[in-house]
A and B are shown apart, each in its own frame.
Chain A
Amino acid sequence: VSQLGSDKKPVGTTAYFLRVEHLMQCSSIAQKAEDWLKPSVILEAFEARAVRMSVACAQRLSKFANPEEGFLELSADLVEAAVAHCQLIVVSKFIEKLQQNIPGKGVKKQLEILCNIYALFLLHKHLGDFLSTGVISSKQASIANDQLRSLYSQVRPNAIALVDAFNYTDHFLGSVLGRYDGNVYPKLYEEAWKDPLNDSVVPDGFHEYIRPMLKQ
């Protein structure tokens, strides 16, 4: 932030700082639930939130005579600004991935749904940031949450296939609950009997410690 306006340009994942003027004063155009499916709407909201949180910290930091002292004092807020920046990175990379050619029937569509779920889930979870920085209104927040709920319904029929895509063998996953064929309960029951405690019906220690109690 301190280099903004100088000839040292922000690069890489901080490139959005180049548009700091716009991002400091824009407000989201989302009017309808569908608007929250647009990558541009999502991206702008996340970028504006990240920029505004960084700039706010920088402004408060500038009031300290000793910057190092200021950094320590404000570090909890700085962490939140850092989180906002990093979440933006993940969201933007997901959106970039979807702009590439992705073969396979319905594959890209599913990934778009997951991308929107990831973004809107974060937006809802960190709503305080988005509202307090004025990036979105509480009305926009509410329709975003409605959209998120509808996205869950779209994932539901595809959920098992989506985790099948990880292509894990039962051996590698090592989980009765997550076994490929879903035959969970009989297998849980079967596994139980392998425990060393089940070597005998009457456990070691019963006669020595418990029987005297029962018989006293």
Chain B
Amino acid sequence: GDHLASERKKANFDVDEMKIVWAGSRHAFEISDRIARLVASDLAFRKDNRTMLSRKELFKNTLRKAAYAWKRIIELRLTEEEASKLRFYVDEPAFTDLHWGMFVPAIKGQGTEEQQQKWLPLAYKMQIIGCYAQTELGHGSNVQGLETTATFDPQTDEFIINSPTLTSSKWWPGGLGKVSTHAVVYARLITDGQDHGVHGFIVQLRSLDDHLPLEGITIGDIGMKFGNGAYNTMDNGVLRFDNVRIPRNQMLMRVSRVTREGKYVHSNVPRQLVYGTMVFVRQTIVSDASCALSRAVCIATRYSAVRRQFGSQKGGVETQVIDYKTQQSRLFPLLASAYAFRFVGEWLKWLYTDVTERLQANDFSTLPEAHACTAGLKSLTTSATADAIEECRKLCGGHGYLCSSGLPELFAVYVPACTYEGDNIVLLLQVARFLMKT
């Protein structure tokens, strides 16, 4: 039976209506509800054994699931919205996250029309699998400090991609280690002896025949990460280039380009365009934070209602832990935060469309503020959520430490959010810089 039935009877609001508010709209709720059930009812998506598999088994299982999910998406003719919801409920970091979440948006954001027409269809049909190779062993948040070079060779009309030092090795990109066939690689553009800073290039990494790395390319997995299961379903990789040549037209040239003669030309599309993608990525991170937080809070709240401890008079029924003020003072602010992050995430969706529309109209007036605001919200919500998941583990007492509680894996999967896409402290300094300027 429903041990929490009496709890549910106490509620004095309409839960079904609250579900709509949480989902954002009736439409969003219906899709989410339907896809959640679809995934939950399909054994192929079972995920309760992840912590028991060896890394090799775990990774192979992830490839199986990714391929199966893709097959289901095609069979069921799911829309893009439904497909992304399906990936959300499969709930397993995999190469597909970076292919759809970073590789495709990068080409959309920085590729010319021709480049989009050439690469996007291949990506959409998954005839190539792409990742986003920016971070290096020696450089993360400071993108301008990247060391990988792309030197233009006017003789052959090619760029030579090179990793001059060990610290210039690409390190961390998800999907890079074992699966991706291509990558958007960020490197210092050098032409006629001039260094024009970091730009993006589409580089093929592996042969489409035998999947072996191409000449001059060294690829591997960077090794186990925090937690058993968790992000070890993802092949975060290391990548080194030994003077690998790519055609000039594989430089993403929407913002700036290099001519046949090797002249660097800034197109009239301003560099701020890149910020549009950044606002998009941060907006997804903020809404991810509200989801991860709500999962932890859901587990801790329900268990706090089930768990009884002390408080009984003369051997009667012990008090429900959720009735203790100390429990409430720790748990309820986290419940409130889940909703708070949800709504600021919704507002960020609006902000993203607003910024994009303004960029189209060449209006950059709100860009610095939008950039600072999204940097700060990404930092605030991810730090708070990581701490909150750990707090929820403690709120569940010793049982919170069991993998079967779901909290250790949720924590292990979530905490990288505090450092990826910009270290949270560095992001707050960007906000402070903007505040001081203001």
Same complex for A and B? Answer yes
Return the chain A residue nearest B70 by Cβ: A213
Tell which of B55, B63, B324, B328 touches A210, judged by Cβ atoms closer than 8 Å: B63
Query: Within A49-96, which residues are at the interface with B (CB < 8 Å)?
Result: 72-76, 79
In the bound assembly, the distance between CA atoms of A215 and B128 in angstroms comes to: 9
Option from A76, A213, A216 in Cβ contact (under 8 Å) with B325: A76
Contact A192:B220 (CB < 8 A) given known A209-B63, A209-B67: yes
Give the chain A neighbours of B178 by CB distance below 8 A. Answer: 197, 202-203, 206
Q: How far is the CB of B95 from chain A (nearest CB, A)?
A: 9
A188 at the interface (CB under 8 A from B): yes
A73, A196, A205, A215 — most chain B CB neighbours (10 Å): A205
Interface residues of B in 15-71 (CB under 8 A from A): 54-56, 59-61, 63-64, 66-67, 70
* Interface: B279 (CB within 8 A): no
Contact with B along A197-212 (1 / 0, CB 8 A): 1110111111011111
Determine whether the beta carbon of A72 is less than 8 Å from that of B137. no
Of all chain B residues, the one with the shortest Cβ separation from A211 is: B211
CB neighbors of A among B212-267 (8 A): 212-213, 219-224, 235, 238
Q: Is the CB of A79 within 8 A of B326?
A: yes
Is there contact, CB below 8 Å, between A214 and B60? no
Interface presence of B127 (CB below 8 A): yes
Which interface class (under 10, 10 to 19, 20 to 34, 35 or more) fits A? 20 to 34
Residues of chain B within 8 A (CB-CB) of A204 are 56, 59-60
- Chain B nearest Cβ from A83, distance in angstroms: 12
Q: Which of B146-193 contact A (CB under 8 A)?
A: 166-167, 169, 171, 177-179, 181
B307-337: CB near A (< 8 Å → 1, else 0) gives: 0000100000000000011101100000000
* CB of B126 closer than 8 Å to a CB of A: yes
Q: Which of A73, A185, A205, A210 contacts B167 (CB 8 A)?
A: A185
CA distance A49 to B327 in the complex (A): 24
Give CA–CA (A195, B224) in the complex, Å.
Answer: 7
Interface residue? B138 (CB, 8 A): yes
Are B56 and A196 interface neighbours, CB within 8 A? yes
Question: Are the CB atoms of A197 and B235 closer together than 8 Å?
Answer: yes
Q: Are A76 and B329 touching (Cβ within 8 A)?
A: yes
A193 lies within 8 A of chain B by Cβ? yes
Partner of B166, one of A185, A199, A202: A185
Which residues 78-127 in B have Cβ within 8 Å of A in the complex?
A: 125-127
Contact pick for B324, options A72, A192, A195, A208, CB 8 Å: A72
B70 touches A194 (CB 8 A): no
Q: Are B179 and A210 touching (Cβ within 8 A)? A: yes
Number of residues of chain B lying within 8 A (CB) of chain A: 45
| Interface flag for A174 (CB, 8 Å) | no
Are B56 and A201 closer than 8 Å at their CB atoms? no
- Distance from A128 Cβ to chain B, minimum over Cβ atoms (Å): 15
Contact digits for B125-136, partner A, Cβ 8 Å, 1 yes 0 no: 111110000000
Bound complex: CA of A211 vs CA of B206, how far in Å? 12
CB closest residue in chain A, given B222:
A192
Flag whether A186 is at the interface (Cβ < 8 A).
yes
The one of B66, B171, B220, B325 in contact with A75, judged by C-beta atoms closer than 8 angstroms, is B325
* Residue of chain B at shortest CB distance from A71: B325
Cβ–Cβ < 8 Å partners of B66 in chain A: 209-210
Task: Judge whether B210 is part of the interface by a CB distance below 8 angstroms.
Answer: yes
In the bound complex, do residue B59 and residue A75 qualify as a contact, i.e. CB atoms below 8 Å apart? no
Asked whether any CB of chain B lies closer than 8 Å to the CB of A191, the reply is yes
CB contact under 8 A between A73 and B325, given known A185-B137, A201-B213, A205-B59: yes
* CB–CB B167/A197 < 8 A: no
Q: How far is the CA of A209 from the CA of B128 in the complex (A)?
A: 14
Contact B326 A75 (CB under 8 A): yes
Compute how far the CA of A205 lies from the CA of B63 in the bound complex, rounded to whole angstroms. Answer: 7
Q: Which residues of B contact A186 (CB under 8 A)?
A: 166
Q: Write the nearest CB–CB distance from B123 to chain A, whole angstroms.
A: 12
Q: Which of B128, B179, B213, B235 has the most CB of A within 10 A?
A: B179
Q: Is A189 an interface residue (CB 8 A)?
A: yes
Residues of B within 8 A of A72 (CB): 311, 324-325
- Contact of B208 with A by CB under 8 A: yes
Interface string of A176-190 (1 = CB under 8 A from B): 000000000110110
Nearest residue, chain B, Cβ from A76: B329
Most chain B Cβ neighbours within 10 Å, of A197, A201, A204, A210: A197
Q: Which residues of A contact B311 (CB under 8 A)?
A: 72
* Contact across chains for B67 and A213 when beta carbons are under 8 A apart: yes
With the chains together, A24 CA to B56 CA distance in Å? 64
Closest Cβ of chain B to A189, distance in Å, is: 6
| Chain A, residue nearest B169 (CB) | A189
Contact B128 A198 (CB under 8 A): no
Q: List 11 A-B contacts (CB under 8 A).
A: A72-B311, A74-B325, A76-B325, A76-B329, A185-B137, A188-B137, A192-B220, A197-B220, A205-B63, A210-B179, A214-B126
A194-B223, A197-B178, A208-B64 known, 12 other contacts, Cβ within 8 Å: A73-B325, A75-B325, A76-B328, A185-B167, A188-B137, A192-B222, A195-B221, A198-B220, A202-B210, A206-B178, A209-B64, A212-B67
Enumerate the 3 nearest inter-chain pairs by beta-carbon distance, A residue then B residue, closest first. A205-B60, A76-B329, A209-B67
